[in-house]
Amino acid sequence: MNEVGLPQSGDEGAFAKFDLFSVPSPCFVVDEVAIERNLKILADIKAQSGANILLALKAFSMFSLSHLVRQYLDGTCASGLYEAKLASKHFGGSLTTYCAGYKASDLSEIIGLSDHLIFNSIAQKNRFLPIVEAARQDGKNISLGLRINPEHSEGHTAKYDPCMPCSRLGIPVSQLGADDLIGIDGLHMHTLCEQGFEPLERTWNAVLPKIELYLQELKWINFGGGHHITRPDYNRDGLIQFIKGIRSTYDVDVYLEPGEACALDAGILVGEILDLPVNQKQLAITDISATCHMPDVIEAPYRPAMLGETSDGPSYLMGGPSCLAGDVIGEYRPAEVFEIGDRFAFLDQAHYSMVKTNTFNGVPLPALAIWNSSTNKTRIVKQFTYDDFEQRLS
């Protein structure tokens, strides 16, 4: 989202011709053609800059399309044991794992799956170094990194700004010393959220004087995610020259971990109108829940774009079926008056929404479908049942 809480994307693209009644409701529909389009852009950045580009599974984990990720990217990055296992089983390639706090009981398995292991603090690094050394003695080749906090904010919203005051994410760069880097191969910094190249460049210029003395001892720099590289207005030439300059000047490998960029404008969430009550405003109760299916609508907050919305159509305050009073998605103007049973869709829902779904109130999870916008063929890859709800409980 930008500074006023509006999504940075939401282009209808090929979805303008998608038959909303061709899938069950609710349903996430991902266009594999759009995913490949984004991956090709990232692959071109890789080829021209020499960077290593990893898919951030925290944003997009649809392993039914992992074959495309393997074709174009270097691998994935994980946030803990479960994502690391998913990466190993379905995605392949290089795996970088970072977690704000590792559990000792998980770490041996994480190390066995990962190529890079990034610590959030010096204390965790020192505590777990014996486990790392034991794995190395058993033949495991793993590279260690530290996440730093550049202490330079570019974020528009505090809860998404890793450099906000009292942030728990990364070692404040002002606290970093040479002794802290003993046994460390690289530094990781993730400071952006849905942003262009210029905030990355400003962050680097701010942090470089504080880490330049250490760079000659390092093997890699990881700039994390939040890079909206596949957005049409992103300064890709600037990014390419930036990466090439760092690689040649400091003789380090450069890693990027885009998540949203891999799935930008590649998916929709299809829903259905369940009821049309009136209370001061015209309301629309839908089978899509902000709370259960698009929690960022409430957490960010933001207003997702709707397929076919107009500026002068009938107005509806749309919300979900749950009992939460705040399960409100937003006010929308469809092209025509809604009737019960009508279908609609929210745009740009391939990333984050899908990985954040929950079953609060027993609200069913959306089905998952893959569409090919070139052939107009759709396949349902997953439908959830009562068992999925029950198995989370006891």
Give me the number of domains the chain comprises.
Answer: 2
The CATH number of the domain holding residue 329 is: 2.40.37.10
Mark whether 219 and 86 lie in a shared domain: yes
pLDDT of the residue at 9: 61
Mark whether 109 and 154 lie in a shared domain: yes
pTM, full prediction: 0.95
Last residue of one domain, picked from the residues 263, 281, 307: 263
Mark whether 199 and 283 lie in a shared domain: no
Last residue of one domain, picked from the residues 236, 263, 290: 263
Last residue of one domain, picked from the residues 245, 263, 281: 263
Mark whether 100 and 196 lie in a shared domain: yes
Mark whether 226 and 118 lie in a shared domain: yes
Q: For residue 336, is it within any domain?
A: yes
**pLDDT < 70 stretches in the chain:** 1-9
Under DSSP, the state recorded for 104 is: H
Domain range for 99: 50-263
Mark whether 186 and 322 lie in a shared domain: no
pLDDT of the residue at 8: 53
Q: For residue 164, is it within any domain?
A: yes
pLDDT of the residue at 1: 43
pLDDT of the residue at 225: 96
Mark whether 80 and 172 lie in a shared domain: yes
**DSSP state letters, 163-220:** TSTT--SSEEGGG--GGGGTT--EEE----SSB-HHHHHHHHHHHHHHHHHHHTT-SE
Q: For residue 288, is it within any domain?
A: yes
Mark whether 249 and 275 lie in a shared domain: no
- Residues 160-210 have pLDDT tens digits of 899 999 999 999 999 999 999 999 999 999 999 999 999 999 999 999 999
Mark whether 256 and 285 lie in a shared domain: no
Q: For residue 98, is it within any domain?
A: yes
Mark whether 257 and 383 lie in a shared domain: no
Q: For residue 160, is it within any domain?
A: yes
Strand 116-119, strand 171-172: pairing: unpaired
- Residues 111-168 have pLDDT tens digits of 999 999 999 999 999 999 999 999 999 999 999 999 999 999 998 788 889 999 999 9
Q: For residue 7, is it within any domain?
A: no
pLDDT of the residue at 2: 41
Q: What percent of the chain has pLDDT over 70?
A: 98
Q: How many angstroms separate the CA atoms of 360 and 131, rounded?
A: 38
Closest C-alpha to 267, from 160, 186, 357, 359: 357
Mark whether 193 and 284 lie in a shared domain: no
